[in-house]
Chains A and B, each alone.
Chain A
Amino acid sequence: QVQLQESGPGLVKPSETLSLTCKVSGGFIGSFYWNWIRQSPGKGLEWIGYIFSPGTTKYNPSLESRVTLSVDTSKNQFSLNVKSATAADTAMYWCARGNVVTGLDYWGQGALVTVSS
């Protein structure tokens, strides 16, 4: 059974970089599209982007200038960096496995990140 687990700081200061990691177990990260999705308080789901190993990435244009995704196949994990964080980046962040046939089929439990001084 594939499992994903997000980790990272729950509090980030404005203007700093928001960083999260997603550890994948029960499956090799070398296939599929590895995604990040977020939900700001009171809002719907927003797709941030995906990385397809070894390094193909696609980003939401609304965030593309500030977002970087990377993958570490040796650790079977992938990461999200959002630079110059603001209060608008305060959200629940999920990592999820996806593919172009089935959508987002496995999700992590989520990580709440607050951007505040």
Chain B
Amino acid sequence: DIQMTQSPSTLSASVGDRVTITCRASQSVSTWLAWYQHKPGEAPKILMHKASSLESGVSARFSGRGSETEFTLTINSLRPDDFATYYCQQYKTVPWTFGQGTKVEV
């Protein structure tokens, strides 16, 4: 299985901050990587696919970069609605695997 490791596990930030989450894969996934935002009681929401392709309707304050084994998700100008847990997921190889999550908190 491809192991996905996110850092940090928890990120303390304030409204207006720029934050970056890192996701590392144990082997190359090319750019077959997605990012999701998850809030308690809700379904996860896809933000990005193919590492850097923003989903329709998702704010341009979100951006993704990377390839092979190292990826980042950056959120510019953090808003109250952005406080959530973020997951990366590789879909290059079955089993598809998720990172352990990064909780962005106040």
Contact = CB atoms under 8 A, between A and B. Distances in A.
Interface of A: 35, 37, 44-47, 49, 58-62, 94, 96, 98, 100-105, 107-110
A47 B87 CA distance: 12
Interface string B21-52: 00000000000101010100011111001100
Contact of B95 (A47, A101, A103, A110): A47
Interface residues on B, range: 20 to 34
A102 B101 contact: no
**Top 5 closest pairs, chain A to chain B, by CB:** A103-B34, A107-B43, A60-B95, A45-B98, A102-B49
A104 B46 contact: yes
B55 interface: yes
B46 A103 contact: yes
A2 B97 CA distance: 24
Interface of A is mostly: strand
A47 B95 CA distance: 7
A62 B1 CA distance: 10
Nearest to B94: A58
B21 to A, nearest CB: 14
A110 B98 CA distance: 18
Interface string B83-100: 000010101001111111
Nearest to A35: B96
A100 B91 contact: yes
A58 B96 CA distance: 10
B34 A45 contact: no
Interface in B49-106: 49-50, 53, 55, 87, 89, 91, 94-101
